[in-house]
């Protein structure tokens, strides 16, 4: 390793340490801190963020990146090496960060903390008015960010590319339109046959303290390494966070009369955590030590939540564990009953509890609203009405309260517009990746057939996780599956699975 690259790496390590400190402060704010402490905590995060931003946009940093690139190129270092990947990533990141003023980063961080508290309260009180002024600020911050980053076609492109490199708004629209055209008739046909699947066994009295004893088993069953993690945390909006590959944590939420959120939320967040736990050791303390994009990250969580966690084979292997925990609730049900219940398709209000098919419609709703907000066509105070009418158009239902409508997600407390579409992209990536994995290694299918996810985790580790952020999504997906994102595998999967369940 040359001299300039070594110097660069030291700087990068320090900046990365600061970033992980902000993650830890956020984790603690969400999981442990009293709400009275949140405002000052947000200032603390703001201060560290500012410091981090200043270091990463310094002239010295720019020079080091340039010199390191020259150094690596003249040494003929391989394009896929950690060194080249890091410099490539930093050069792009540096250029973008230089366009964003330091005061903007700090303003956003502080506003986000306040918005977070207002959102929690608005959601608890079903009072959108409490959140509206904060949403207006967040939209303005989103528009401001798009201007700093720049765009060629649509303002939303600038924001989307922050989460899914190489994807444009028009690309997402095309994929979404194709999925909507293929799955909307399937959802409509299923709606006519609601009597085919009964999910009442999921809605019983499931004491939270028992759920908390059994959830770790399911985190482990889909690959969570507790030695490189922690006990499950509790959060209003579950999330995963990692401080290094040796410390990736998950949160979940518990409903006393509905078993699904804790169970599938846990498996979902586990999918995220094992991605972070599996990033290459040589990437540690650099920005490459994380999932390459939100869409690919979500493909890992949706794979564990849905393709594995909602599969027939998984429950035939593991249902007894849940039965042992809840003998009076589930003792007289079969694994097959449970498999059918957890795969019921029915339009509902809450995105994170939606089934695999209607979930994508929830994302399409947010994708359309976000574009309107960023383009200035939708004001904060008009969001509840826009939400409700779009919900009626896509799913045929209107939420009775804003808490069950536009206040359900934490995302708009910060200007992270462009994030939502990646959730649906994750669904489509997940099936394509699993198909490729099974094709390449027969032991994966054999393992899954007995509820063993280890061979799958090994394939994901080698083909996705260990690369961290070295490659952009299109390149990574092509390396792993032989072709870029294709919505067809998801459509085939959905038609086969739900066609069988609903006898279509
Ligand atoms: Zn997720």
CA distance 77 to 458: 28
pLDDT, tens digit (0-9, with 9 covering 90-100), for 226-282: 999 999 999 888 999 999 999 999 999 999 999 999 999 999 999 999 999 999 999
The answer to whether 345 and 355 are in contact (CB under 8 A) is yes
CA distance 177 to 435: 23
Domains of the chain in start order, with CATH, are 169-501 (1.10.1370.30)
Catalytic residue among 71, 269, 298, 356: 269
Centre of ligand 1 to C-alpha 238, Å, is: 9
Per the annotation, the verdict on 269 as an active-site residue is yes
Going by the DSSP 8-state scheme, the letter that residue 127 receives in this structure is -
Q: What is the pTM of this model?
A: 0.91
* Residue whose tokens read 């997906």: 477
Q: How high is the pLDDT of residue 334?
A: 98
Centre of ligand 1 to C-alpha 62, Å, is: 33
The answer to whether 108 and 148 are in contact (CB under 8 A) is no
H or E, element range at 415? none
Q: In what order do the strands lie in the sheet with 247-252?
A: 233-234, 247-252, 240-244
Centre of ligand 1 to C-alpha 474, Å, is: 19
CA distance 417 to 405: 18
Cα 343 to Cα 261, 321, 351, 496, distances in angstroms? 13, 19, 15, 13
Q: C-alpha angle 318/323/328, rounded to 5°?
A: 170
**Cα Rg of the chain (Å, integer):** 23
HSE (side-chain half, CA atoms, 13 Å) at 92: 15
Centre of ligand 1 to C-alpha 264, Å, is: 11
Beta partners for residue 258, in sequence order: 255
CA distance 494 to 504: 12
User: In the structure encoding, which two tokens stand for residue 1, read together?
Assistant: 């390793």
CA distance 271 to 27: 18
User: In the structure encoding, which two tokens stand for residue 290, read together?
Assistant: 């994380």
pLDDT, tens digit (0-9, with 9 covering 90-100), for 341-378: 999 999 999 998 899 999 999 999 999 999 999 999 99
Phi, psi (degrees; rounded to nearest 5) at 454? -60, -45
Per DSSP bridges, beta strands 240-244 and 247-252 are: antiparallel
**Along the 504 residues of the chain, how does pLDDT read in single tens digits?**
679 999 999 999 999 999 999 999 999 998 999 989 988 998 899 899 889 988 999 999 999 999 999 999 999 999 999 999 999 999 999 999 889 988 898 899 889 989 999 999 999 999 999 999 999 999 999 999 999 999 999 999 999 999 999 889 998 999 999 999 999 999 999 999 999 999 999 999 999 999 999 999 999 999 999 999 999 999 888 999 999 999 999 999 999 999 999 999 999 999 999 999 999 999 999 999 999 999 999 999 999 999 999 999 999 999 999 999 999 999 999 999 999 999 999 999 999 889 999 999 999 999 999 999 999 999 999 999 999 999 999 998 999 999 999 999 999 999 999 999 999 999 999 999 999 999 999 999 999 999 999 999 999 999 999 999 999 998 999 999 999 889 999 999 999 999 999 999
pLDDT, tens digit (0-9, with 9 covering 90-100), for 187-206: 999 999 999 999 999 999 99
Centre of ligand 1 to C-alpha 332, Å, is: 33
H or E, element range at 248? strand 247-252
Measured N-to-C along each axis, helices 102-125 and 38-56 cross at an angle, to the nearest 10 degrees, of 150
Centre of ligand 1 to C-alpha 404, Å, is: 19
Centre of ligand 1 to C-alpha 295, Å, is: 9
Centre of ligand 1 to C-alpha 72, Å, is: 36
């Amino acid at each position: 390793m040359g001299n300039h690259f070594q110097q660069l790496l030291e700087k990068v390590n320090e900046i990365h340490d600061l970033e992980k400190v902000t993650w830890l402060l956020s984790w603690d704010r969400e999981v442990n801190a009293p709400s009275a402490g949140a405002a000052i905590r947000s200032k603390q995060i703001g201060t560290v963020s500012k410091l981090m931003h200043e270091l990463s946009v310094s002239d010295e940093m720019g020079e080091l990146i340039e010199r390191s690139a020259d150094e690596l190129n003249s040494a003929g270092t391989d394009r896929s090496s950690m060194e080249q990947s890091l410099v490539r990533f930093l050069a792009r990141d540096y250029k973008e960060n230089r366009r964003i003023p330091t005061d903007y980063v700090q303003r956003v961080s502080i506003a986000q903390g306040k918005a977070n508290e207002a959102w929690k309260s608005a959601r608890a009180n079903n009072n959108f008015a409490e959140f509206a002024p904060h949403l207006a600020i967040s939209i303005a911050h989103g528009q401001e960010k798009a201007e700093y980053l720049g765009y060629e076609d649509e303002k939303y492109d600038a924001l989307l590319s922050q989460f899914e490199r190489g994807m444009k708004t028009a690309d997402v629209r095309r994929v979404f339109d194709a999925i909507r055209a293929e799955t909307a008739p399937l959802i409509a046909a299923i709606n006519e046959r609601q009597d085919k699947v009964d999910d009442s066994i999921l809605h019983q009295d499931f004491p939270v303290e028992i759920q908390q004893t059994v959830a770790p088993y399911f985190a482990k069953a889909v690959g969570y390494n507790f030695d490189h993690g922690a006990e499950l945390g509790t959060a209003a909006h579950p999330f995963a966070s990692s401080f290094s590959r040796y410390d990736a944590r998950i949160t979940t939420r518990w409903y006393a009369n509905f078993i699904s959120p804790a169970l599938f939320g846990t498996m979902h967040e586990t999918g995220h955590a094992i991605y972070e736990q599996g990033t290459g050791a040589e990437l540690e303390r650099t920005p490459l030590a994380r999932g390459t994009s939100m869409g690919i990250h979500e493909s890992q969580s949706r794979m564990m939540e849905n393709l594995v966690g909602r599969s027939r084979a998984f429950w035939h292997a593991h249902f007894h564990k849940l039965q042992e925990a809840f003998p009076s609730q589930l003792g007289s049900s079969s694994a097959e009953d449970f498999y059918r219940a957890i795969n019921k398709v029915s339009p509902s209000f809450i995105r994170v509890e939606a089934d695999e098919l209607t979930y994508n419609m929830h994302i399409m709703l947010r994708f359309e609203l976000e574009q309107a907000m960023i383009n200035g066509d939708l004001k904060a105070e008009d969001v509840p009405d826009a939400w409700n009418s779009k919900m009626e158009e896509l799913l045929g239902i209107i939420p009775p309260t804003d808490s069950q409508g536009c206040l359900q997600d934490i995302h708009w407390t910060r200007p992270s517009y462009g994030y939502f579409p990646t959730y649906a992209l994750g669904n489509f990536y997940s099936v394509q990746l699993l198909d490729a994995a099974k094709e390449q290694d027969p032991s994966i299918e054999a393992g899954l057939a007995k509820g063993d996810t280890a061979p799958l985790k090994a394939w994901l580790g080698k083909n996705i996780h260990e690369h961290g952020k070295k490659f952009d999504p299109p390149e990574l997906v092509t390396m792993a599956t032989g072709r870029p994102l294709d919505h067809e595998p998801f459509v085939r999967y959905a038609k086969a699975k739900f066609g069988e369940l609903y006898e279509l």
